[in-house]
Structures are given as structure tokens and as C-alpha cells.
Structure 1
């Protein structure tokens, strides 16, 4: 064999091996980057992202965008290097996102529940801010629990054994005094119809001496006010703040954003406290690329956000729902809002 050809073959073998390994072998990392961003004042698939019925709505303009982080799994060596070199993605160990011993299905289910909880917390926080009345609602039902034979998610709970309910905790406290086999009387409203039904309690899975109803009570708007959130395939709790702001904007005079493009992120509890989130740098990139000029940052994320903020994006520090509304009003009035420094 010609020596030149042999030399060429010897030189190409490592390249071919590297090419095969790099395109076939996966690495134990995932790539995080900017994800989709959604206008909570807008629509998705023809439906309002935050759909409010049963109350007069104030017109809104501008945008209040929630932001997300994309997660790319199953990367080969070349893909991982490409994301690392891109500048707008980062690599983290796969175990940080998908812990060993926990199935993908379990993780997705947990993220989905976190998102649903953030929706209900956002609704309650906004209603409390607006001083609107709330009622006790069925937020969830255990499939084989006693309540599932009578109630549906969304039913309003009025009383248990003629004891009026003023908060979700009332349901927990009353049922907690009953034993398995006891029959309680539930009064509830479904649609416009008020109904009464007896329910025999089962034994709690974690304490067989106590009665078990098998429902998750929550708080929500008093009918006819009804709030529905229409974003699917989104997980985690970080959209709470933007959902609350959209609901406030729709149910109160004026425009929170002054007609501008505002984006943001942050968890929220029912008292309106804003909590930290992950992936702030990627959410800021997504917001700026979508056209946002102002970004609402949870106070606990401010240091990281300040170091990684895209050019031209104003960072507004928020630790409560009330503070977020005040900061947006300040910006609209030409005043200086509290920033991340």
C-alpha cells in the first residue's frame, strides 16, 4: 500500500472514532437555556391565558409576559459542546434536574402539580390584593377517596355538618375531629345549584384512627367570578407573580404596565409574597429577545440577575405583589422603581 495512503488512513481513524463517539455517546449533562415566553394578558390557542368570567373586565394593553427555561436532555458530546459554546445556554449535571431513583413520570407529575398550585395561589393573592371575596373550593380529589363519589373539582364547599366554612383549614379541622366510619353532611354548590350529600369517612392512610375525606380544599373567587388558566405543558411554580399581575390588571381600572412590554418571574404565595426561582439568566434572555424592556426579578435573585442582565433590560426588584404593583405604577408615572442595583 502506498505510504501516503497508509499515513492518511492512520490519521483519519482517530477522527472517525471521535466522530462516531461524539455523535452516539450521550453525556451526563442537560442544557438549560431560554424557553418560551407567554403574554399573560394575551391568548394561547384562541383562549385567554388568564380567563376571567362573571365580573366586569377592564381593557388591557401592552404585555405582562411570564418566562420559562428550556431543558434539553439526551445530549451527545457534540451537542453538549455546541450548547456550552453558544453563550446563551449552560450545562448542569443531569442529576440536578432528574434525580437518580425518581422516574421521569414522577418528576413531570410533580412539576405539573407545582404549576397548578401556583395558579390557585396566584388567584387567591390577586383577589386578596383587590379585597374581593373568596370561598372554599374543591381543588383536588383523591381518586378512591369518599369525597370523589359526591364532589367534583371546582365545587364550592359551603358547610360540613351545618358548620359554615370560611377557609380551607376549616375543612381540615372539622374532618380531623371525626373517626373512620362517621358520616358527615356536605353542603356544596355546583354551578347555580346548592346540594347536600352524606359522606362516610374512610381511614386516613397515615393515621387509621382519623377520618379521611380525600379532597384538597382551596380558596377561590366567589361565584359568579371564575378564573381559569389556559397554559398547558408548563411545569413549576415560577409563573405565579405574572399570573397575579394579569388578574389584577383585568379586574382593576387602568393598566399596570402602562401599555409597555413587561416580563418577569417569581413564585407567589396566597399572602402575596414573591419567592426565588431558578434559571434567571435564561429567562432574562428570553424576555429581552421577545422585546421586553422591564423585567420583574424576585429580590432573592437580584444579585445573580444583575451580573447577567442583557443589555437594555431594566431590572425591577420585587418581594411582594403589592411592591410589584407599586413599582409598575412608579415606572408609568416616570418615577424611579426599586431596582436590583
Structure 2
């Protein structure tokens, strides 16, 4: 009996220190996008009038990850995390595929952060009424869809004409999305493209949106690279040690606040997380549950949640925190304005949004 007990204790001791193929995701730091770091504004604006933003905060949120490449966790670490409401134990391959080099992943996350800042700038300036001229380039084809038969990677799309409709000259991505939103899948469209600087017309049928995509209309069926030709206002970001695209929404709201008179937050401490597309759509992110707890820890009383993450928040909202489900930059700004005015009755919560989806 004594030998068996000793063997069991030895086995448990070995298991406790053996590295496990799991990772722990926990609340990370938050950062006020309206604030300053080391005496410098997190977001610096030049080329346009800026306005005081008051005492309120617009906090981006992050997660802390243990157990990445070269940083294995033990069984004791995993058990401790399992017992915490604000942490999650997940398979390592969810974030760190075995065939992906850690340095390449880190570089990719930096690139995502840079892209999120550019998209946030474009979305915010568009929301404020600036006209942004954009170049729309075919970046990748989907072989199974009709567009792949006539378009080529590198084609620059300059105009679209639906069958039986008028021609829209495309100055920005929003115009293209607006036209497609009115077209059922299978509608023939003619695109005018520049192919090796030569104007060319191609015609094909639009494709359906993926299952679960709440957008209206149809899609071209290609991946587009969208670049702003020149920003009318210079926006710079002083962000270190944070990667990925999930701060895009909070960057965009902060830019809107800096460039409009008055205090958008009304003194409230508001946090959030969500990607931002160049045309102002808010996308889902990872680690929403941990970000909620990190925001609550740092004093936020409201959290802006992408509609695509709402189901993950049910039963996971810290006490005393209000939730606003948002789909677009316009909707996010309206939610912040409602919080500032104390008129939150019209804000859609995640519980209400999930219930509305059946």
C-alpha cells in the first residue's frame, strides 16, 4: 500500500512539471486610446483641427497567453486556470499551428496591427465625411467561383455595371459594397478593370454570401486588396508590444472623438474589442471573455462587443458592466454617444441580439 501511494505521488509530481500541449488565455493589459504613454499621445493627429476628449476613456483590450512556443505550462498551471472564471485552457494549436514559425507568427501579428490602424483611419475619416480615393486590386481568386474564370490577380477594378443597370465609377470600396448589396446572387455584372494598365471589360455572375453572413446582396467572389491613395489627415499610432487586428474598432472611435467637437464619452470609461474593415464594419475577435474581465478590472463600466462575439458573452459578463452589441463604426459611435448621454435604453445588448437571431 505504501509503495503504491509513493508511486502515485511520484507520478503526480512528474505530471505536475511535465510540459503540456495547452495554453492559458487570461486577461491582458488595457490601454486608453485617448490617453498618453510616456508623454506621447497614443493617437496623434496632424493636418486637421483636434478637440479635447475630456476625462472619459476608450480602452482597447488584450489577452495574456501562457504556453506558447518555448513557454510550456504545467498541470498545476492548467488546474489553476481551470478554476478561474476569467481564464481559459485551450489546445496550443488554436493559436500556434505546429508548422508555423513563432517569429513568422509574431511578424504576421505586427502586420495585422499595422493594417488595423490603416483600416481604422480610413473608416473613421469616411465616417466623418472625408472622401477617400482608393485603389481596388484583385488579390486572390476563388477557383470554384465564376469570377475566377475572367478576372486575374493584379486587376485593378475601376467600375461596375449590373445587368440592366447603370455604371458606377468606383472611387472607394464602400461604393462597390453598396452596389453588390442590391444584387441577388447570380446577377451578371460587368467590371471595368485595368490589366497591365490596359482597360478591359469582363462579365460574370456574382456569388452568394457564405452561410451565416448577415450582409445583404451578393459578392464578387474574389479577395480584394484595398489601398487608400492618400489620406487627407495624418494619423500616427504609438503602440508597442500589442499585435493583431482586434483594436481596430477602438482606434476608429478614438479618431472620431479627436476630430469632432465635444467629449464623445461624456466622461464614461468604455472598453471594447473588434476588428474594423476599411468600409466601417466591425468584425469578431478572439478572447472576448478574458477581455471583458480585463476591462472590468481596469474600471470600464461598458464594453462594445462585435455582434459576431455576442454568443460567447452570455453568462460571462462581469457584475456591473453594460454590454453594447455593435456591427458598424457608425453603430459603435452611436452607442458611445448614448452611454455619454445616459440614454442607454435603446442600446442592443448581446443577450437581446442573440435572442433576435433565434
Q: Is 1:267 paired with 2:260?
A: no
Q: Is 1:296 paired with 2:304?
A: yes
1:11 positional shift: 4.1
Question: For 2:327 and 2:228, how far apart are their aligned partners in 1?
Answer: 24
1:219 positional shift: 4.6
Q: Is 1:238 paired with 2:231?
A: no
Question: For 2:12 and 2:87, how far apart are their aligned partners in 1?
Answer: 24
Q: What is the correspondence of 1:42-81 to structure 2 with a 5 Å cutoff?
A: 42-61=35-54, 62-73=56-67, 74-81=72-79
1:176 positional shift: 2.9
Q: Is 1:329 paired with 2:343?
A: no
1:81 positional shift: 1.5
TM-score (norm 2): 0.69
Q: 1:18 aligns with which of 12, 18, 22?
A: 12
Q: 1:105 aligns with which of 100, 103, 106?
A: 103
1:285 positional shift: 0.3
Q: What CA RMSD, in Å, does the superposition of the two structures yield over aligned residues?
A: 2.6
Once the two structures are superposed, residues 203-236 of structure 1 have per-residue CA deviations (whole angstroms, 9 ceiling, x without a partner) of xxxxxxxxxxxx99535522xx311111122121
Q: 1:91 aligns with which of 89, 92, 98?
A: 89
Deviates more, 1:262-271 or 1:324-333: 324-333
Q: Is 1:120 paired with 2:125?
A: no
Q: Is 1:218 paired with 2:238?
A: no
SS of the equivalent of 1:86 reads: coil
Deviates more, 1:306-315 or 1:13-22: 13-22
Q: What is the correspondence of 1:269-288 to structure 2 with a 5 Å cutoff?
A: 269-288=277-296
Once the two structures are superposed, residues 239-270 of structure 1 have per-residue CA deviations (whole angstroms, 9 ceiling, x without a partner) of 01000000000000112211110000111111
Question: Relative to 1, partners in 2 of residues 1:238 and 1:12: Cα closer, same or farther, differing over 3 Å?
Answer: same
SS of the equivalent of 1:254 reads: coil
Question: For 2:92 and 2:10, how far apart are their aligned partners in 1?
Answer: 27
Q: Is 1:339 paired with 2:349?
A: yes
The answer to whether the 8 A contact 2:57-2:268 is kept is yes
The answer to whether the 8 A contact 2:134-2:226 is kept is no
1:8 positional shift: 6.4
Larger radius of gyration: 1
SS of the equivalent of 2:28 reads: strand
Question: Relative to 1, partners in 2 of residues 1:104 and 1:37: Cα closer, same or farther, differing over 3 Å?
Answer: same
The answer to whether the 8 A contact 1:64-1:246 is kept is yes
The answer to whether the 8 A contact 1:123-1:220 is kept is no
1:315 positional shift: 0.2
1:188 is aligned to: none
- The number of residue pairs the alignment matches comes to 267
Question: For 1:128 and 1:309, how far apart are their aligned partners in 2?
Answer: 32
Question: For 1:227 and 1:328, how far apart are their aligned partners in 2?
Answer: 22
The answer to whether the 8 A contact 1:132-1:221 is kept is no
1:9 positional shift: 7.4
Question: For 1:239 and 1:120, how far apart are their aligned partners in 2?
Answer: 12
In structure 2, stretches of 5+ residues that fail to align are 136-169, 174-192, 199-224, 353-358
TM-score (norm 1): 0.72
Question: For 1:262 and 1:28, how far apart are their aligned partners in 2?
Answer: 36
Question: For 1:175 and 1:28, how far apart are their aligned partners in 2?
Answer: 48
Question: Relative to 1, partners in 2 of residues 1:39 and 1:132: Cα closer, same or farther, differing over 3 Å?
Answer: same
